[in-house]
Amino acid sequence: MKITVTGATGHLGRHVVAGLLEQVPAEQVAAVVRTRDRAADLAARGVEVRVADYDEPAALAGAFRAGERVLFVSGSEVGRRVRQHGAVVDAAAAAGVGLLAYTGILGGPKADFRLADEHKATEQSILDSGLPYVFLRNGWYHENYTERLAPVLDHGAVVGSAGTGRIASAARADYAAAAVAVLTGDGHEGRAYELSGDTAWSLPEYAAEVARQSGAPVGYRDLPPAEHLRVLCGAGMPEPMAELMVDVDAAISRGLLAGPAGELSRLIGRPTAPLAEAVAAGLAGAAARRP
């Protein structure tokens, strides 16, 4: 049985492919990528590389095979994903894949913030297709915060508008391990997994952890949403994306990314990695990048 991973050279996709190669022979794994050169290391290990782009339905027609299990990693181009994802679902349905696992967002239809809209539309498209499916509704990644620690250290502040709302994040590697468990296991068809870390935390607690590990005076600045938006735009974030991030913080303040805990750790058979580990890795990375 072939297992195919889309977005296989992205942050999440690479973790998934690495996990699969620990479980199954390389010839049973296929990687769908936009650029073949970026997957040269995977090809060297015996992974089949297929080139396709979510924006090119003609290329997607050759991305999948009948009967195989597919991990459909959601695209990153917010605002374009309904059309892109629809093309992927159409290609998977035309090929007759045996299982389509989609990486959506925590809460599924109950997620009422704007970043969830395209994920909800994609889930509905998959349901309408009649394909055998699994929904992997991923919560927030630790790395959403810990990969951007340099400006936090420079300014001595974590900035947001989420108040004391809690975030049950997990490491990308944890979410990837869940995908591997589903792709290599049985009994998952038709399930929707709400995936989040074991321990929820607030932005003030996150700032305190960064301060503890770095020894720098770092605190949390909770801003009104309009001011938060101005700060993000002033830092160079495009306004549409900044608006989405402020809206996410509003969702955090309402508890929509706080859990429930347990389903991710049950799937992967171990506790999820604590935030402190990601902070340590983020600080090491920030130090390595400094001149």
What per-residue confidence (pLDDT) applies to 83? Answer: 94
CA-to-CA separations, 281 to 20, 138, 186, 274, in angstroms, rounded: 24, 21, 34, 12
The answer, yes or no, to whether residue 176 has pLDDT greater than 90, is yes
The answer, yes or no, to whether residue 95 has pLDDT greater than 90, is yes
The answer, yes or no, to whether residue 291 has pLDDT greater than 80, is no
Angle 278-241-264 from CA coordinates, rounded to 5°: 40
Distance (Å, whole) CA 241 – CA 245: 6
The boundaries of every CATH 3.40.50.720 domain in the chain are 3-138
Superfamily of domain 146-151+156-165+199-258+274-289: UDP-galactose 4-epimerase, domain 1 (3.90.25.10)
Structure confidence at residue 148 as a pLDDT band (50, 70, 90)? confident
Structure confidence at residue 218 as a pLDDT band (50, 70, 90)? very high
Cα torsion 198, 200, 204, 210 to 10°: value is 20
What per-residue confidence (pLDDT) applies to 229? Answer: 97
The boundaries of every CATH 3.90.25.10 domain in the chain are 146-151+156-165+199-258+274-289
Strands of 178-218 (E only): list them. Answer: 192-195, 201-202
pLDDT in tens, 237-262: 999 999 999 999 999 999 999 988 78
The answer, yes or no, to whether residue 114 has pLDDT greater than 80, is yes
Superfamily of domain 3-138: NAD(P)-binding Rossmann-like Domain (3.40.50.720)
The answer, yes or no, to whether residue 167 has pLDDT greater than 80, is yes
The answer, yes or no, to whether residue 79 has pLDDT greater than 90, is no
Give the pLDDT mean for 275-279. Answer: 98
Q: Which residues are 5's β-sheet partners?
A: 31, 71
